[in-house]
């Protein structure tokens, strides 16, 4: 009798060609390690009827985060469902979870990934995909539950500790996050998701110089990664440099590391929008860089995959002074009006006012920006994204507050931030201007 085929984590496989196991492992290991080799499953899907092979190929098409994603993914999931191979319960559940994702039933997909974590805790590709959906809903406790469910059975896998670290951090449990991240790095120095989680911890705790040194130290390991992971970790390093007042270095990082790896990809685009916006808010002239980004954002007018993405596409188009910004706003309004299910509130109650505020800020209507962004900020968690990513919208709101004359409110926000980030020259310079305008120069001096 032939030996049972298994993936690199020990999960049984039903494939029509044993040679496909290598491609399956490239997806599984590549996906959890944020490596570009995950796409190697696509050629195998052209000739192998294995349901898991087809489902992995479908998932890759969905990760494009574009309006074309579901249509491109559907033929693969249909082949998975029609496969003559006797797939395991684990494989069948994963297929159903990806099918639910394609159909837009994210809550069903999450339930299936949660079941998988309990029943097959070494299916870490399923776990990471479940965390992705939960992250996009702002459900960090759900992310943590998934990781903790798998830890007893998969503590030997460094990438699981990285997944747990980011979940701990998003739950504001920073000491636990740091321990998990350092355990991941101890098991495997090249663990970029753990590097990312630890960067979040250090940024939140105001350990800016330490955070920048840490990321520089591990950056030589960022090889063979997918474009999101490599550009996003350099984006995090740029945030440290920006707060430390190293503006020329931030511009260099933007030009050489953050923008230009895969300009067509959603996550690379929002990294670029976010960093350019933060540079401008810090008083840095970014030259013609908005125009290049804007050319790629102009293709995103009908995506509406996630409100978190649409909001940044909109602001980038507005800052690039492209007429498509107004068209995208109309499309967002139409999409929000038709939104149903769990995402409806995020589109209607959070995304819409935030988008109105972002357009107002880009147009110099700071009073409207304060009102509209102020209405959205308390519920911003619902649009997904990380704390560090969503901070962009808080920074824009604070800038609008200052520019519209709301200095008392600005002082209240700024001083709390400065207390948590005493190394931040960016915040100190902003605070100096506010205190001077309030006639309280001596009060700020006493805090130095």
Q: What is the pLDDT of residue 441?
A: 85
* Averaged confidence pLDDT in the chain: 97
Tokens of 90: 């684990």
Tens-digit pLDDT profile for residues 244-267: 999 999 999 999 999 989 999 999
For range 209-233, the mean pLDDT: 98
Q: How many CA atoms lie within 13 A of 78 on its CB side?
A: 6
Tens-digit pLDDT profile for residues 370-379: 999 999 999 9
Q: How sure is the predictor about 195, in pLDDT bands with cuts at 50, 70 and 90?
A: very high
For 376-390, give one letter per residue: b (16+ CB within 10 A) or e: bbebbbbbbbbbbbb
Q: Other C-beta atoms within 10 Å of 409: how many?
A: 16
| Percent of the residues in the chain that have a pLDDT greater than 90, as a whole number | 96
Tokens of 316: 């980038």
C-alpha span between 399 and 367 (Å, rounded): 11
Q: What is the pLDDT of residue 447?
A: 63
Q: What's the count of helices (H) and strands (E) in the chain, helices before strands?
A: 25, 0
C-beta separation of 161 from 180 below 8 A: yes
Q: What is the pLDDT of residue 235?
A: 98
Q: What is the pLDDT of residue 3?
A: 63
Whether residue 236 has pLDDT greater than 50: yes
Q: What is the pLDDT of residue 350?
A: 98
| Percent of the residues in the chain that have a pLDDT greater than 70, as a whole number | 98
Give the SS3 label for residue 322.
coil
Q: Where are the alpha helices (DSSP H) in 155-257?
A: 158-170, 174-187, 192-204, 208-218, 227-243, 247-253
Whether residue 1 has pLDDT greater than 50: no
28 exposure class (CB count in 10 Å sphere: 0-12, 13-18, 19+):
buried
C-beta separation of 394 from 374 below 8 A: no
346 Cβ neighbours under 8 A, 6+ residues apart: 307, 382, 383, 384
SS (H, E, C) 8-72: CCCCECCCCCCCHHHHHHHHHHHHHCCEHHHHHHHHHHCCCCCHHHHHHHHHHHHCCCCCCHHHH
Tens-digit pLDDT profile for residues 16-48: 999 999 999 999 999 999 999 999 999 999 999
C-alpha span between 165 and 198 (Å, rounded): 8
For range 427-434, the mean pLDDT: 95
């Amino acid at each position: 009798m032939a030996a049972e085929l298994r993936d690199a984590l020990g999960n049984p496989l039903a494939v029509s060609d044993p040679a496909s196991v290598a491609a399956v492992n490239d997806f599984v290991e590549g996906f959890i390690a944020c490596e570009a080799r995950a796409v190697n499953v696509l050629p195998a899907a052209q000739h192998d009827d294995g349901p898991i092979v087809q489902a992995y190929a479908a998932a890759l098409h969905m990760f494009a985060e574009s309006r074309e994603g579901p249509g491109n993914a559907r033929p693969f999931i249909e082949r998975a469902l029609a496969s003559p191979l006797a797939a395991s319960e684990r494989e069948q559940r994963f297929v159903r979870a990806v099918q639910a994702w394609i159909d837009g039933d994210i809550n069903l997909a999450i339930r299936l990934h949660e079941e998988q974590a309990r029943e097959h805790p070494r299916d870490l590709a399923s776990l990471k995909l479940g965390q992705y959906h939960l992250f996009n809903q702002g459900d960090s406790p759900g992310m943590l539950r998934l990781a903790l469910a798998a830890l007893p059975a998969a503590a030997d896998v460094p990438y699981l500790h990285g997944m747990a670290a980011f979940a701990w951090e998003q739950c504001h449990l920073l000491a636990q996050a740091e321990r998990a991240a350092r355990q991941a790095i101890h098991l495997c120095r090249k663990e970029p998701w753990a590097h990312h989680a630890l960067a979040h911890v250090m940024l939140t705790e105001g350990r800016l110089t330490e955070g920048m040194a840490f990321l520089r130290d591990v950056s030589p390991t960022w090889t063979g990664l997918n474009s999101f992971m490599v550009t996003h970790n350099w984006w995090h390093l740029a945030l440290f440099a920006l707060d430390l007042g190293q503006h020329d270095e931030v511009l260099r990082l933007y030009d050489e590391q953050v923008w230009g790896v895969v300009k067509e990809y959603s996550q690379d685009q929002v990294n670029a929008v976010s960093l350019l916006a933060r540079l401008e808010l810090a008083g840095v002239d970014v030259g013609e860089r908005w125009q290049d980004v804007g050319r790629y954002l102009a293709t995103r007018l009908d995506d509406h995959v996630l409100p978190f993405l649409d909001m940044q596409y909109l602001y980038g188009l507005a800052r690039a002074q492209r007429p498509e910004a107004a068209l995208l706003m109309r499309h967002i309004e139409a999409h929000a009006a038709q939104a149903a299910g769990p995402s409806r509130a995020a589109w209607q109650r959070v995304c819409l006012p935030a988008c109105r505020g972002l357009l107002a800020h880009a147009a110099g209507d700071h009073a409207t920006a304060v009102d509209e962004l102020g209405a959205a900020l308390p519920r911003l968690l619902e649009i997904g994204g990380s704390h560090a990513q969503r901070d962009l919208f808080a920074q824009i709101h604070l800038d609008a507050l200052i520019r519209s004359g709301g200095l008392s409110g600005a002082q209240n926000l700024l001083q709390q931030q400065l207390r948590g980030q005493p190394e931040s020259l960016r915040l100190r310079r902003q605070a100096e201007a506010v205190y001077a305008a309030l006639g309280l120069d001596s009060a700020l001096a006493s805090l130095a």
